Chains A and B, each alone.
Chain A
């Protein structure tokens, strides 16, 4: 029950099957990494879990702490505890970071609940300080004119503020220099804990030097073809993906 279980998930985009009977179990308290070549279906998994309308689930199930995630709308999934850090965070002109995160928190409250603005800002500033985000960013429009690193840090800031049960990081390392990568990784590591499962989707092993995963899965052609511990990521980095594909072809 305390896990995000993906069972035989098949997903298509515009009629083309991308994920093919993919299964994965992410228990709370663990960090799993998903690696794979371009076009293998990594981002599709993230978006299908979040419920993006372009991604059609034709079979399979996703259970989040026992609840059928696929029955829920995008926002219901989010409120139930699923967070996705976007590969390409979207600009929302005129909406400040502070108002945006507040709206997201308020969406999780009941009508009657009061919102403690002072406590909110105290927490927001603390998280921003930790992520090295200038406090002036509270007044900036969401992602508008942000550098790649600023956008990714801001995704982690939202994740920290919303305290999700399961986090899916979709290629959060793309476009980051090494300093930004370390800050983002520290932010993610800070969120590791018994009550949270984290799924790190990445193309490169580099990120996994800083966010050390409990398990590594390799995805090829929409399926997880190999799982292992952190050393698998190193092996992939050194040898590429072809040897795994060859193993598959050989039926190993």
Chain B
């Protein structure tokens, strides 16, 4: 079908890179000099510099969480990465002004095309900084702000500072501290009261350089009654050395606001993807995370919602596909902190070959609350005999005035299913793809059309190599 071609982003499509010269390079390794270099280049206020340096201390003082997480974390050599690379901090407002090599990268990834087709705004980050950032003019007239975090800090410090690092404190975990020390790029979005942004805003994160760490910082605030959908895509070339991506994403949904945050992560298999994502939902606000993790070497990511106001709703829909040599350690957190709050978690994982998927969930409802509800479903599909899945749900519900429901399943694509599909003429790979797409179908149906088509393509490509 023709419309599929418009967003033809596959696992290999991101696997290319152009040699680029950088104006700003913080060098290799992580220390105070590097942190100061970043603050200098960005001409940041003293409070930001102090925030960064304090975060560096916290990062250094925190051990890796290998008491519960994989030992593969020990293979991250923090002193071997480059922490800041850019051609300058000023993003272009038209694609023509974007430097040729960078522009060509995003064109190959189809970003300008998607922008024309269905987006209200786009930010395209190349290594440490946004190379392009633009939003439709009518949104600006409504007072919507959609810029990179560097620009947000400079031009809107009064909003930025009020919400920054409040949902995810610096010391939340080792990687949130790391991000806080060296963050650069990411999106800053503010939607004024009552403004409903109809088309999605999209950010695209591209790692281009080898042995590089990308640490974008995203902060989205939907003021009272506002609505916004944000989508992010990510790719990197396949280098021999490892690459680190460690973002912090904070969402604030004020009274009655709705935020939908969609991720389709397609990192190459050399990327450590260690991301902290959390939202705060005030009274009657609604936050929905749609999180698809397909690539990377190791992903650790547990989007969460703190349900702070009465009748707030939180939802996480998560799909993880772990291929050979990949570990998708994903899940969700729902922290109920007000009466009548509801949360829903649906997580589906697929393990292919020696791939490993892990679900970790945390649901917390304290005793004093009434009328809270949580529903958790996690389903794992194992493709090969050596595929692996683990589930670690942690549900603490106190008191008798709340309800939780938890269902988990592990299934396999059976030989009889494959025989049946092949007897209808499908190849083994096509049969496997169809069965796997069927497994995630009820979730994918909830995605915007463009993303569900892309996800289906990614699954097809992953499954092609899984049989033999």
Binding site for B on A (CB under 8 A): 50, 52-53, 73-75, 77-79, 83-84, 86, 89-95, 99-101, 103-104, 107-108, 115, 117, 141, 158, 162
Contact = CB atoms under 8 A, between A and B. Distances in A.
CB-CB nearest 8 A-B residue pairs: A94-B438, A95-B438, A94-B441, A104-B424, A90-B420, A78-B425, A74-B422, A75-B422
Interface residues of B, number: 25
B426 A94 contact: no
Given A53-B415, A75-B425, 4 more contacts: A83-B423, A104-B425, A107-B425, A158-B424
B440 A78 contact: no
Nearest to B436: A94
B262 to A, nearest CB: 20
B426 A104 contact: yes
A93 B439 contact: yes
Contacts of A53: 415, 419
Nearest to A164: B425
Given A53-B415, A92-B417, A115-B1, A74 B437 contact: no
Contacts of B423: 50, 74-75, 77-78, 83-84, 86
A79 B425 contact: yes
A15 to B, nearest CB: 19
Contacts of B438: 92-95, 141
Nearest to A158: B424
A111 B156 CA distance: 51
Contact of A94 (B414, B421, B428, B437): B437
Contact of A103 (B417, B430, B439): B430
A86 B420 contact: yes
B23 interface: no
Nearest to B439: A94
* Residue of B424, B428, B440 most packed against chain A (CB within 10 A): B424
Given A93-B439, A95-B435, A100 B424 contact: yes
Nearest to B440: A94
B437 A95 contact: yes
B70 interface: no
A141 B417 CA distance: 13
Contacts of B422: 73-75, 78
A64 to B, nearest CB: 14
Contacts of B437: 94-95
26 contacts: A73-B422, A75-B428, A78-B422, A78-B423, A78-B424, A83-B423, A86-B420, A86-B423, A89-B420, A90-B414, A90-B420, A92-B420, A92-B434, A94-B440, A95-B437, A95-B438, A100-B421, A103-B426, A103-B434, A104-B424, A107-B425, A107-B426, A108-B425, A117-B1, A141-B438, A158-B424
